[in-house]
Structure 1
């Protein structure tokens, strides 16, 4: 059961898109949201509390950070009200820290069930919630991460792609994916991307996918073999063909490489597709 959704924000347009989607998911799940903004400071000091209050000392750095935090409080309040979240409890937190460290700590301390993040993708690397920072959260979060790039004012998931090589034990991830499917009553499309470098016969692959579906007692699903030159392109082309609302994948957190497909497919998808991507790190 989903109890807490975390939305890290830098107050950008992409973060706003993520907040909208998080509210839609929270309404479906009957859960609450935490908005988190982290002021990154090279000379971070524990002299500041989570709300920006000075605890000790009064040097210029502390004065500057305090003033910055006060400005961020105003920004956070505007951001909070920028999405109609009636019926969804939303709390907010500001902190001075390293963003990735704070996000990981919050996930653990608050028992977060889902992180929803905005991403610009592979361009504009001067922003916080893009590129390597988003990918770091995808690789290291101990809960599913839903990455959103564009606006989805009515986030209603009907068609879901689950891409895998279906060779490894993915039970924990599959249960999370099934829960998300059930939340929206969506149809799940299992897909194996058959590439020239790792070609298998369709008969063997269909058997493998059907065995997976039976093993995890999947409901409302289809099995699909899709031919393409590389896995990432195949996933994107298949998702576009069926007009998917969501792509789901598991990742290997230690290296950032996909545990289910060769290469850093999950991170590439987050960067290159306009479709929301739900990733889950396998231990």
Structure 2
């Protein structure tokens, strides 16, 4: 059940695209949306998480931070008003905090069911939603995270790729994924990427995938074994071949493993594909 959606924003085009997708999901689920931006101020500036002055600080710095907060609130209002959200409950939030800390705090305090984030990919590392912040949220969030690059205001999902090594317990992730599948009435394509370094016979893998599908009570699905040089490339090529609307992956975070649940594969996919990616951390 998706009742509360969090949309962290840096007011970029990709972040606006994420807000549009969140609106589309909210219209299907009746969920409320919180659009959030965290202003990171210099350590010791004396501002609390609500933007209040809590200790003696330099007056010029004080004025600068207050002006920054006012500008941010104006940017937030413009963003919210630029997207048609009629019938959807949208709340705006501007805080003084490190972005990743505020995202995690809001997820916990608000009982967030889904985070929808914009991502530019691997090139713009100086932006709020890029690189380390996106990867940290994907890796550590206690709820599913949907990353979006391109504009897709209707956000209809017909074909879903569920990529995994299917060797670990992913029940908690699958329950979230099943909810998303049911929301759109989509078909789920279970895929194992067969690589030269971890090659198995197609018949053995197909049996494992079918066992997984039965174990987790999946419906409306297909079983697929796809050969490629690397797991990430295989997922991308398979998703492109079937014209997938969404890629789903569970992640354990960065554990140093070479399998799909290592975390790095999920984060690389977020950076390198224009297809929306839904991840859930099993940590």
8 Å contact kept, 2:188–2:221: yes
Residue 166 (structure 1) shift: 0.7
Q: Residue deviations 1:140-169, cap 9 Å, x none?
A: 111100000111121001100000111111
Aligned to 1:280: 280
Aligned length: 282
Aligned to 1:112: 112
Residue 19 (structure 1) shift: 0.2
Cα distance in 2 for partners of 1:121, 1:181 equals 25
Cα distance in 2 for partners of 1:67, 1:258 equals 47
Cα distance in 1 for partners of 2:31, 2:263 equals 35
Cα 1:108–1:254 shift into 2, 3 Å = farther
Cα distance in 2 for partners of 1:30, 1:177 equals 18
SS in 1 for 2:240: helix
Unmatched runs of 5 consecutive residues or more in structure 2: none
Cα distance in 1 for partners of 2:266, 2:200 equals 22
- Spell out the pairing of 1:89-168 with structure 2 (5 A cutoff): 89-168=89-168
SS in 2 for 1:42: coil
Cα 1:54–1:17 shift into 2, 3 Å = same
8 Å contact kept, 2:145–2:278: yes
Unmatched runs of 5 consecutive residues or more in structure 1: none
TM-score, length of structure 1 as denominator length = 0.95
SS in 1 for 2:122: coil
Cα distance in 2 for partners of 1:183, 1:256 equals 34
Q: What RMSD, in angstroms, separates the aligned Cα atoms of the two structures?
A: 1.7
